Each structure stands twice: as C-alpha cells, then as structure tokens.
C-alpha cells in the first residue's frame, strides 16, 4: 500500500509531506513528541487529510504538535478504471466473395476472420477507450500494394470493392491491416493517418478517459502470401517516431512519466502506483503487445524504456513490468486477479475467433470483469452483422467504461 502521508526525517528535523512531495509543515521535534506524532499517523492508501496545528512552549523552544485528521476518500488512479476496447480495431470485413474463397480452403480460419468494425472514431463516439492496431513495416512504401486478394476476386468473375484509390500503400511508413493479401481492408491504411484521426477526436472531446492503444508489430510469413518485412530494432523504433509525430509529450502517458525517480518502472508501479485519473484525462497510453523476442529488440533502442513511447508486455519481476497482456481470463483468472491487486495493469479478451459470439457464451466476459483486468477487448461491442448472433459485450446500461468497485 502507498502512503498518502509520509513521515520523513531529514537532518534532525521532521517534515510532513503529501503524496507529491509538497511540504505541509516542518519543525524540530523532541523525541517524546515524535512518538506521539508517529502514533497519530495511520497507514492508509487514498486518503485526504486536514491538519490542525497547536503551538506549545517547552524548554524555551516553540514546537508544533501536528494532529492529522484523516478523512477517508478514494483517490482514483488509471488502474482503477475498467474499459471495453476493440480487437483489431481498424478492420473492415473481408468482402464476401474473397471470404467464401478462403472458407473453401480453410473453413475454421475463415470463420475466425468473419468480423469487422465501425471506424475507430465511431467506436470512440460509442464510448470505447481502448484499441488494438496492427502495423507492418514498409519504410520505402509499396511493399504491400495491390494485394493478391483483389486478383482472386477478379478471377472469381467479380469486380473488387474500391480499395486504396489514393495509393496510400505506395507511401513510406507503417501500414495498418490484418493479414497481407487476404485481410487487407482498413479504415486508414497508414498508421500515422489513423493516429491523426484519433488525436483530432481527442482534441474535440477534451477530458475524456485515458485511451489505451495496443500495437502489434506484424511480420509473420504465411505460406502462399507475400513475404513481410521483419521488425528489427530500428523498425520497432519507427513506431515511436510515428507516434511522436502526432502526439506531444503532454498527450502521452509514458514509461518515464510513470517511473519518475524510481529505479525501475515496476518498482514505481508497485510502490507508488499509476498516475491519478484526473491528470491522465485526455491522454494516451501505448503498449507494444509482442513476444519477448521483439520486446527485447525494442529495449535495445530504449533500455529500461527510457525515452520510450511504448510500455511492453513483460511478466512480473522484470524492471519493465507494468502493463501485461493475458488474453484468457478463464484459464488465467487467478493470475490476472493477483497481478491487478499488486498494482499492474492487464488487458484480457472477452472473446476470440468469433467462437463466443457464435455460441452466445459470456463466460470469458464475466471472468474478465471479475478478474479486475483494466482493459477487456472484444470484437462485439455491437452485435455482428456478418452472422446471426445477439452476442454483445458492454457494461450495465450499455456503457463501455466504468470505475472498478472491487
């Protein structure tokens, strides 16, 4: 537990300071009075206080006896929130003829890909406050232009839906889509443009809850599809570069901000905690949702996450551990619950691969809520329009954000 009031001894004098280090009062105090004051201080997280001073003369010294009256109240921090976010938030559904072609080759995979979203701006208007964006490295531009799926649709005797009429994929920079050549439709094909749209909405909606954005650095090679460009340390650093080209430091919740003067990010999270909610409103927190291999590459450029935009998915007892991605709230329910109680932030999922939506199964969502995970991701914050299902993930009264009660 973190003390709002800290009792500090400095060079024979005692100071009372609040949680951000503002000095309330300091004076030389006799040993007997120190014991009295120490007994008055109660360890209690998230309290406000009222200081009552009484002047007492003793042995020709003026001392202050400070009586601290604690008034219990909750100090909300960003890890006290619970929000529903979307998975692969940018995704436009695969057009029907191409989906049927994929289904004829691999029906299980095709069913898992049968979802899509309204635009991220419309999701923001609805109340979602977390998103997941897949990025592909393309420093020269053009590597992912003219996806093969368009040719497949033509070979099936149909005209493809309009795609990339402005030749965005030919421009240098990170690209946004799900799977090369197959699941390539996105509301914004350029990562930077997607960020600009989100930032514009933020500026027009001042004071919104902090927005948490997970980034997947995609470079998986799939048989019969075009080869991807690997995410080297330099390529991973380009994610930071594009984020900072859109957002100012004042708009970001960064590892440096959370770490402060602590030796490590993990120590800061566990001992002092996350920033308070009021100061975090209108800001963005980015997370690199990747394997240890890519995370370690990223840390080569940003050792200890110093000057980094992104938090990384590291397990506890790592200096960079703070935000974790644990996608199965059923299997890992106790693990998530314990991590949240310790002070970490966790993202989990209410559904995956369209399975829960097809079976109207809320088990994962119910477990996710009870686990305390701060971010619950779903493909179904609204009902599917691609198959018959009433499955919908939201809190009470159709809300997508709330303060945790446990």
What burial letters (b/e) apply to 108-145, b meaning 16+ CB within 10 Å? eebbebbbbbbebeebbeebbbbbbbbbbbbeebebbe
| 34 confidence band (pLDDT: 50, 70, 90) | very low
Give the integer Cα–Cα distance in Å for 360 and 308. 40
pLDDT of residue 406: 61
Give the integer Cα–Cα distance in Å for 140 and 61. 75
Residue 64 has pLDDT above 90, yes or no: no
Give the integer Cα–Cα distance in Å for 335 and 332. 5
Which residue in the block uniquely carries the two structure tokens 């191409």? 98
Residue 364's H or E segment, with its range, is: helix 363-371
Give the integer Cα–Cα distance in Å for 87 and 48. 39
Residue 136 DSSP one-character state: B
Query: Which residues partner with 190 through β-bridges?
Result: 175
The tens digit of pLDDT for each residue in 183-202 reads: 999 999 999 999 999 999 99
The tens digit of pLDDT for each residue in 344-368 reads: 999 999 999 999 999 999 999 999 9
Give the integer Cα–Cα distance in Å for 343 and 267. 10
Specify burial of residue 401 (Cβ count, 10 A radius: 0-12, 13-18, 19+).
middle
What burial letters (b/e) apply to 217-238, b meaning 16+ CB within 10 Å? bbbeeeeeeeebbebeeebbbb
The tens digit of pLDDT for each residue in 276-289 reads: 999 999 999 999 99
pTM metric for this prediction: 0.83
| 74 confidence band (pLDDT: 50, 70, 90) | low
Locate 78 and state its tokens: 């960003």
pLDDT of residue 95: 97
Average pLDDT over all residues of the chain: 86
Residue 251's H or E segment, with its range, is: none
The mean pLDDT value for 391-401 works out to: 97
Write down how long the chain is: 406
pLDDT of residue 21: 37
The tens digit of pLDDT for each residue in 214-232 reads: 999 999 999 999 999 999 9
Q: What is the helix, strand, coil percentage profile of the chain, to 5?
A: 35, 25, 45
| 59 confidence band (pLDDT: 50, 70, 90) | very low
The tens digit of pLDDT for each residue in 291-329 reads: 999 999 999 999 999 999 999 999 999 999 999 999 999
Locate 271 and state its tokens: 């001992």
Give the integer Cα–Cα distance in Å for 339 and 283. 24
The mean pLDDT value for 382-397 works out to: 97
Q: Where are the alpha helices (DSSP H) in 41-139?
A: 96-105, 107-112, 120-126
Please enumerate in sequence order all residues whose Cβ is within 8 A of that of 164, keeping only pairs 6 or more positions apart, or say none: 145, 189
Beta strands in 251-336 (DSSP E): 284-288, 310-312, 323-325
The tens digit of pLDDT for each residue in 122-181 reads: 999 999 999 999 999 999 999 999 999 999 999 999 999 999 999 999 999 999 999 999
């Amino acid at each position: 537990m973190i003390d709002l009031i800290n009792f500090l001894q400095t060079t024979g004098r005692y100071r009372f300071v609040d949680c951000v280090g503002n000095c309330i009062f300091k004076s030389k105090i006799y040993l007997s009075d120190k014991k009295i004051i120490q007994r008055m201080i109660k360890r209690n997280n998230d309290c406000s206080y009222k200081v009552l001073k009484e002047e007492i003369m003793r042995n020709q010294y003026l001392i202050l006896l400070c009586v601290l009256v604690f008034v219990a109240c909750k100090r909300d921090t960003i890890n006290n929130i619970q929000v529903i976010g979307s998975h692969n938030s940018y995704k436009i559904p695969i057009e029907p003829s191409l989906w049927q072609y994929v289904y004829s080759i691999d029906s299980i995979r095709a069913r898992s890909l049968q979802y899509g979203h309204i635009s991220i701006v419309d999701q923001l208007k609805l109340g979602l406050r977390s998103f997941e964006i897949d990025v592909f490295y393309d420093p020269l531009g053009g590597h992912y232009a003219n996806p093969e799926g368009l040719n497949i649709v033509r070979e099936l005797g149909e005209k493809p839906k309009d795609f990339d009429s402005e030749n965005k994929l030919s421009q240098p920079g990170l690209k946004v889509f799900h799977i090369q050549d197959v699941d390539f439709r996105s509301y914004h094909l350029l990562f930077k443009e997607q960020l600009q749209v989100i930032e514009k909405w933020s500026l027009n909606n001042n004071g919104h809850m902090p927005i948490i954005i997970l980034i997947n650095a995609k470079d998986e090679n799939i048989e019969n599809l075009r080869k991807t460009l690997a995410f080297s340390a330099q390529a991973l650093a380009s994610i930071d570069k594009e984020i900072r080209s859109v957002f100012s430091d004042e708009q970001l919740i960064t590892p440096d901000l959370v770490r402060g003067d602590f030796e490590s990010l993990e120590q800061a999270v566990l001992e002092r905690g996350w920033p308070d909610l009021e100061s975090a409103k209108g800001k963005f927190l980015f997370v690199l949702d990747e394997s240890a291999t890519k995370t370690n590459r990223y840390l080569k450029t940003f050792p200890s996450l110093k000057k980094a935009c992104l938090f990384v998915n590291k397990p506890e007892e790592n200096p960079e551990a703070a935000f974790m991605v644990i996608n199965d709230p059923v299997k890992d329910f106790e693990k998530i619950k314990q991590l949240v109680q310790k002070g970490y932030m966790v993202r989990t999922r209410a559904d995956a691969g369209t399975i829960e939506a097809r079976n109207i199964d809320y088990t994962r969502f119910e477990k996710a809520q009870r686990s305390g995970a701060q971010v619950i991701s779903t493909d179904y914050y609204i009902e599917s329009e691609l198959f018959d299902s009433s499955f919908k993930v939201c809190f009470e009264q159709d809300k997508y954000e709330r303060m945790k009660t446990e």
